[in-house]
Structure 1
Amino acid sequence: MKFRHLFATVLAALTLAAAGAFAMDLEELVGKAIDAQGGAAAFKAIQSQKASGKVLSHGMEMPITLLTARPNLMRVEVTVMGMSMVNAFDGTTGWSINPMTGSQDPQPMGELEMKNARLQADMDGPLQNWEARGWVGEYLGEEEVEGTAAHRLRIDTKQDLVLEMWLDAETFLPLKQNAKVKFEQQEIESQMYFSDYRTQDGLVIPFSLEARQGDQVMMNMVFDSIEFGVPVDPALFVMPAKAAAPAAPTGN
């Protein structure tokens, strides 16, 4: 199993003017979606978040802890066969530790991983202040997601990342998100499905996420607990120094 690809899938996750009976103004739709999840003020009040649960992939069950904090800090830790894999972003630099490669040394993220990390580290999500960020949004009309009527919208971040999101036509909660990332003249696409919404500290958030590529389910993330306002050590997000090489033996 390619565990590096698993991490890319986790983080990739971890990222949204047509006619019809339910057609509406894009700004109104985004406002309803934000309100359905608790409102802009509730989002802004949160300075840190810790989510704990498990990843189910390729017949394996792996504990996962996701820690995010302002401004744009992110750390994901997954335990695989007793070893801890870490991906982190300090707002500028992304890095990872993957003992499955035979090394415990931190390594800088590649370009694709960095794009996913920036998306994951954004605590406000793609719908908050999208216009102020210079992004371009478009309402694409109504479309069903596995039998549920949904509003589809598209947001182009102008940073080689385009998000499409499907919002439940009744609750306005996200059902599905599609991310298209341009990387080395290619376009890499992934989908995330959201379910098991619960109210936590005034916010309505999904406790179950399913990542797919095409028709293939890549993994499921199921969270047991999600906490807000947890104490955060900034050092957790900073790339540590590599371990010093052992000194060469000296003769007597």
Structure 2
Amino acid sequence: MIVRWKYGLAALALATASASAQAMTAEELVAKNLDARGGAARLQAIKSLKSEGKLLIGGQFELAVVQYQKAPESVRSEASLQGLTAVQAWDGKEAWQISPFQGRKDPEKMSADDAKGLADDAPIGGPLASWKERGSQVTYLGTEDVDGTDAYKLKVALKNGDVEYVYLDPDHFLEIRIVTQRSVRGTQVESISDYGDYEQVDGVYFPFSIATESRPDGNRQQITIEHAEANVAMDDGLFAFPTTKGAGR
């Protein structure tokens, strides 16, 4: 799951002090990020998250989008337009999809390479919240300019070989950009996602605006979340490959 920052969260501004000039470690920056989002305990208490909004592709096509996330790492995304619904899901072990816009209305399993993006995005708290549990390695790389902001740059090396560079706002310690690099069928693929419009869901801040550009294909998409609800009941079957032909749910 973009858009430039829009703050306007007075409570957040008061709760998160500006970064000090002294050098900080990767773990200290992660801790500040979790505190800024509402605290590790509140984030861990969110066992599921349902988000609804709009997906704008290439600045031309607008689809209704719904995403379901369930701890520890299950995710399902649905994008609908003119009576057709595309589905992509990951149940923690394998991924599958329904692609009606490409003329494929039956569920089909995705390759391990194609599943990487879903697996990487599945954790509710993002790449920093549970990095130790997921077997990731986090390294602080100093600061780097992000559209005029001197952001803290963290390298997150995932267990599956993918790499995510997480940029934190220096005043609020929230993610403003994540650059993901992964190998797909022998080709290096990169996506750049900009995050903004943070809103609280059960006491935890989540980005409600996410703009992503994929490279080298140059595809662009913008997700705007209009409503999100935590700890919604979700059956594991929602994420599993359908056992009935043609069934998406």
Within-5 A mapping of 1:215-234: 216=218, 218-234=220-236
Query: How far has the Cα of 1:93 moved from its partner?
Result: 1.8
Within-5 A mapping of 1:1-252: 21=21, 23-58=23-58, 59-213=60-214, 216=218, 218-241=220-243, 243=245
Percent same amino acid at aligned positions? Answer: 33
Query: How far has the Cα of 1:217 moved from its partner?
Result: 6.3
**Does structure 2 conserve the Cα–Cα contact (< 8 Å) formed by 1:106 and 1:242?**
no
Moved more, 121-130 or 192-201: 121-130
Q: Which amino acid aligns with 1:70?
A: A
Unaligned runs of 5+ residues in structure 1 are 1-9, 11-19, 245-252
TM-score normalised according to structure 2 size: 0.84
SS at match of 1:119: helix
Query: How far has the Cα of 1:178 moved from its partner?
Result: 0.4
Distance 2:232 2:133 in 1: 28
Partner of 2:8: none
**Does structure 1 conserve the Cα–Cα contact (< 8 Å) formed by 2:189 and 2:214?**
no
SS at match of 2:173: coil
SS at match of 1:232: coil
**Does structure 2 conserve the Cα–Cα contact (< 8 Å) formed by 1:105 and 1:242?**
no
**Does structure 2 conserve the Cα–Cα contact (< 8 Å) formed by 1:106 and 1:241?**
no
What's the CA shift string for 1:99-149, capped at 9, x where partnerless?
123232100012222111111221232112423543222111112211122
Q: Which amino acid aligns with 2:227?
A: S
**Does structure 2 conserve the Cα–Cα contact (< 8 Å) formed by 1:22 and 1:142?**
no
TM-score normalised according to structure 1 size: 0.83
**Does structure 2 conserve the Cα–Cα contact (< 8 Å) formed by 1:23 and 1:142?**
no
Distance 1:239 1:213 in 2: 27
